[in-house]
Amino acid sequence: MASVGDARLADAPREAWWPQVLPVVLVLSAFGVYATFRAFEGAFYEWGPYLSPFYSPLIDAHHHYWPFSPALLILGGPLGFRVTCYYYRKAYYRAFFLDPPACSVAERPGRHYSGETKFPFILQNAHRYFLYLAVVFLAFLWHDAVRGFFFGDGMGVGVGSVVLLVNVILLTLYLFSCHSLRHLAGGKLDCFSCTTFGCPRHSTWRGLSVLNERHMLFAWLSLFSVGFADFYVRLVSSGAIRDPRLL
């Protein structure tokens, strides 16, 4: 007679897990390749009032102190924020580490698993510090987005101004739906009504919780928008297209 484990495995219908995993692998890999290329390229990152989000804040653009692409100086901030994000962790643990590939789909046997208890994954606990850094980045990006409406001949609206504005709005939604922010704002309290500022903290926490339910959506939308914003600036900056002025 077969052992219980064998019988259960042999009879368990296999859930098709590839369709769930493949889009994540493709999109994250494509983004990774494009972002790496752009970070090293060190060119075509500004045009008129537009600055690519991959290069913001722009540090030592004229290479007085840093001979390489200025993007490399700042890349670690946004990258670390996304890599340690609770949503992306779920996405890449499943898609790249197959840990698990999908729910109730067996993993490759015999592998040692320590989850987030050991190096390097224990470092995921630093997510909140990347959040603090991301707030600084976001301030620069808002500054860039507003600057995107001020052309040499005065105020105006180009397609690029809209692209940068939509991007910064989506990034703001992504940041404001962050789990660590939700915790910091009020989630860490046990009793809202017995804490100083408990009431406003409860309202803030509740508002952030509404956004937090859509964190996955904002994670993807902002990933696309940041990639597209850079791509757009590259197109106009390299002269491949002209930036249509809307107003």
Partner 1 sequence: MAEAVLKIFRGTSEGGATAEYRVPVAPGMVVLDALHHVQKHAAPDLAVRWNCKAGKCGSCSAEVNGRPRLTCKTRMDSLPQDQAITILPMKSFPVIKDLVTDVSWNYKVNKKIPPFTPRPGADWKFSQADIDRVQEFRKCIECFLCQNVCHVVRDHGKQEQFGGPRFFVRVAGLEMHPLDGLSRTKLLKDELGIGFCNITKCCTEVCPEGIHITDNAIIPLKERVVDDFYDPVLRLVRKIRGAGKAADH
Report the interface residues with partner 1, using CB under 8 A.
Answer: 1-4, 7-8, 11-15, 86, 89-90, 93-94, 99-100, 103-104, 106-107, 109, 113-117, 121-122, 125-126, 128, 179-180, 182-183, 187-188, 190-194, 202, 212-213
* Minimal distance, residue 78 CB to ligand FES, in Å: 11
- Among 217, 212, 228, which residue's Cα sits nearest to residue 165? 228
CA distance 38 to 15: 38
What is the C-alpha separation between 165 and 229, in angstroms, rounded?
A: 9
* Least separation in angstroms between CB 219 and partner 1: 13
Told to check if 179 binds ligand FES by CB under 6 A, we report: yes
* Residue (73 or 217) nearer to ligand FES, CB: 217
SS3 93: helix
- Three-class secondary structure of residue 58 per DSSP: coil
In whole angstroms, give the CA distance from residue 121 to residue 211.
26
Instruction: Please count the helices (runs of H) and the strands (runs of E) in the chain.
Output: 10, 4
- The answer to whether residue 211 forms part of the interface with ligand FES (CB under 6 A) is no
Pattern 81-120, binding to ligand FES, x per CB under 6 A?
----xxx---------------------------------
Minimum CB distance to ligand FES, residue 93 (Å): 14
| Per-residue tokens: 68 | 């390489």
34 makes contact, choosing from partner 1, ligand FES, none, with CB < 5 to 8 Å by partner type, with none
Least distance between partner 1 and beta carbon 241 (Å): 41
Buried b (16+ CB within 10 A) or exposed e, 73-89: bbbebbebbbebbebbb
Query: C-beta of 128: minimal distance to partner 1 in Å?
Result: 7
Q: Which of 193, 229, 238, 220 is nearest to 85 (CA)?
A: 220
The two three-digit tokens of residue 217, written as one number:
């959506």
- Report how far apart the first and last C-alpha atoms of the chain are (Å, whole number): 78
Closer CB to partner 1, 126 or 241, in the complex: 126
Q: Which residue has the tokens 């390489």?
A: 68
Closer residue to ligand FES in complex, CB, 165/181: 181
Residue 71 or 91 having the CB closest to partner 1: 91
Looking up tokens 């052309």 gives 151
Shortest Å, Cβ 11 to partner 1:
5
178 interface partner picked from ligand FES, partner 1, none, CB below 5 to 8 A per type: ligand FES
215 scored as a contact of ligand FES (CB under 6 A) = yes
Q: Which residues are at the interface with ligand FES (CB under 6 A)?
A: 85-87, 127, 131, 178-180, 215
